[in-house]
Structure 1
Amino acid sequence: MATLVTFHAHPDDESIGCGGIMRKAADEGHRVVLVVATRGEHGEVPDGFLDPGEELWQRRVIETRACADILGAERLEFLGYKDSGMMGESTNDLPGSFWTADVEEAAQKLAAILQEENADVLTIYDDNGGYGHPDHIQVHRVGKRAAEIAGTGRVYQGTMNRDYMRRGMEAFAAQAKEAGVELPDVEGAAGETFGKPEAELTGRVDVTAYTAVKRAAMRAHASQISEESFFLAMPEEAFLYSFGVEWFIREGQGPGITETDLMVGL
């Protein structure tokens, strides 16, 4: 059996993009390690949600531990950086933000975990962080460098299939409207920041067997993902389409989809 390390920017990112491959790997007997760069200090939370005196990051750590259990992660580590907020916000440049972190220094922290675990597989994000979030972009940079330092040979960039998303939005627009679910805008210039074109992807992992687990993992992050959110309010058929496949890019693979299991052969 092998070890999968999956590296994310904030609490809840893991449940959305890699929850299926995490639980799948765990069920197949592999060791799963979750590493999160920040504690999500700048997430939005409804008024009155937190207990008196409780900080958001404290609740998000608790939520991440619960999510890690659901997804089968045997180890959870936070690198200790602060959430940078969305691109262009003043929080990007605050001391300690992940966006301002020295890439080499952060990569050494992650590489130490990869080496301790003798990691076989590492997941990060694509070079635009999936949708342009500064912390996600930094995950790409730090993760690539950490893999070089640690000698982790199998690195997958988690992303979204832009063309698949657009087809899904068209197919389920009527259902979404009926359910009162607001779909992301993936058309025009805004849509060009979401994921990557289908032709650039090299990995497609079918995780439809784990969509119930992914829903449970998302619900564990209740401070960020409410029952009325896009993620949980959509009809089951649309959820299966949206979250039943996880997409990746592995340098040196392709053209086209050449892998359907990140842990194959390990």
Structure 2
Amino acid sequence: MTLQLSPMMDRAAKASFADLDTIIGTGGLVALAPHPDDESLGCGALLRAAASAGRRVAVVVVSDGRRSHPASYSVSPDALARIRALEIRAALVTLHPNIFLIELGYCDGEVPFSLPNASCAIADLAKGIGATALVASWDGDPHCDHAATAALARRVHRLLPELRLWSYPIWGRFAPTAAKAPARIVRFDTTPNRAAKAAAIACHRSQMTDLIDDDPAGFTMTTEMQTHFINHPEVFLAG
């Protein structure tokens, strides 16, 4: 099966490659993930590269991911939230043991677009680790939690405008979007960190395998999509 990529990805295919310093500057990095697994899919190689370079790195996961298999009889939403919390911990340790995790705990599918307290807390976190960059999901992704997380990143950036702000596409890699075209796109070469990124993605077993097999409509990422995220350069959109 050949994946159909979005027009944005056609443009990204022509974008230049950027190194770690060009993307995040000389300091630390804060990454916002709408759900446990978006961090590994969208920016896992960047997280590992930054932490391996001695930068302080924090991941803020916004929702608990409890609704990916709503009709399962064997795994309740509460149990799934616990599973996904364990999965993201395993994934981050796989990427680098020094990556710091914060979970905001909003219900999957219900992340508010206005989170003033969270934006202040994340700004304080960024200052505390000496961050010079903030990455988050793209508001062109056709998912409400991804758009809400992008809005949260913009709030943090208004508090700390000196941060470099980037977004990473997940579903926007495949689905056409009405979102405004970004002013700048760069690619990050995952090759040196590809094996670790693949291992981190594999930690999210509830999303990548048939671990939960009693909900035919439940989410499982296709093998083709997983391979795409592992083998394709990471994409970062300015602003």
TM-score range (shorter-chain normalised) is 0.7 to 0.9
The partner residue of 1:71 within 88, 92, 95 is 95
Q: Is 1:55 aligned with 2:55?
A: no
The partner residue of 2:125 within 109, 113, 116 is 113
- Distance (whole Å) between structure 2 residues aligned to residue 47 and residue 134 of structure 1: 22
State the match for 1:193 in structure 2.
Answer: 177
The partner residue of 1:44 within 41, 44, 69 is 69
Shift in CA distance, 49/24, structure 1 to aligned 2, threshold 3 Å = farther
Look up the equivalent residue of 1:66 and give its one-letter code: A
Q: Percent identity?
A: 27
- Distance (whole Å) between structure 1 residues aligned to residue 58 and residue 199 of structure 2: 19
SS in 1 for 2:187: strand
Q: Deviations along 1:199-254, whole A, 9 cap, x unmatched?
A: 854211111222221221111111111179555x349xx93686430111124xxx
How far off is 1:101 after superposition?
Answer: 5.0
Shift in CA distance, 225/133, structure 1 to aligned 2, threshold 3 Å = same
Look up the equivalent residue of 1:106 and give its one-letter code: A
- Distance (whole Å) between structure 1 residues aligned to residue 180 and residue 230 of structure 2: 15
- Distance (whole Å) between structure 1 residues aligned to residue 104 and residue 184 of structure 2: 28
Q: Is 1:138 aligned with 2:148?
A: yes
Root mean square deviation, CA, Å: 3.2
Q: Is 1:202 aligned with 2:185?
A: yes
SS in 2 for 1:120: strand
Q: Is 1:154 aligned with 2:154?
A: no
**How do residues 78-117 of structure 1 correspond to structure 2 at under 5 angstroms?**
78-84=103-109, 97-98=110-111, 100-117=112-129
8 Å contact kept, 1:17–1:158: yes
Q: Which has the higher contact order (CA 8 A, sep 6+)?
A: 2
8 Å contact kept, 2:66–2:78: no
Look up the equivalent residue of 2:199 and give its one-letter code: A
Shift in CA distance, 64/196, structure 1 to aligned 2, threshold 3 Å = farther
Look up the equivalent residue of 1:192 and give its one-letter code: P
SS in 2 for 1:223: helix
Look up the equivalent residue of 1:13 and give its one-letter code: D
8 Å contact kept, 2:56–2:130: no
How far off is 1:158 after superposition?
Answer: 1.1
State the match for 2:5 in structure 1.
Answer: none
How far off is 1:2 after superposition?
Answer: 2.3
- Distance (whole Å) between structure 2 residues aligned to residue 152 and residue 67 of structure 1: 29
8 Å contact kept, 2:29–2:126: no
8 Å contact kept, 2:29–2:57: yes
The partner residue of 2:235 within 231, 247, 253 is 247
Rg (Cα) greater in structure: 1
Q: Deviations along 1:64-118, whole A, 9 cap, x unmatched?
A: 111111112521001232111xxxxxxxxxxxx31x3523233223222222222
Shift in CA distance, 142/241, structure 1 to aligned 2, threshold 3 Å = closer
> Structure 2 unaligned runs (5+)?
1-25, 212-219
How far off is 1:156 after superposition?
Answer: 0.9
Paired residues, number? 205
Shift in CA distance, 62/194, structure 1 to aligned 2, threshold 3 Å = farther
- Distance (whole Å) between structure 2 residues aligned to residue 207 and residue 55 of structure 1: 33
Q: Deviations along 1:170-189, whole A, 9 cap, x unmatched?
A: xxxxxxxxxxxxxxxx5xxx
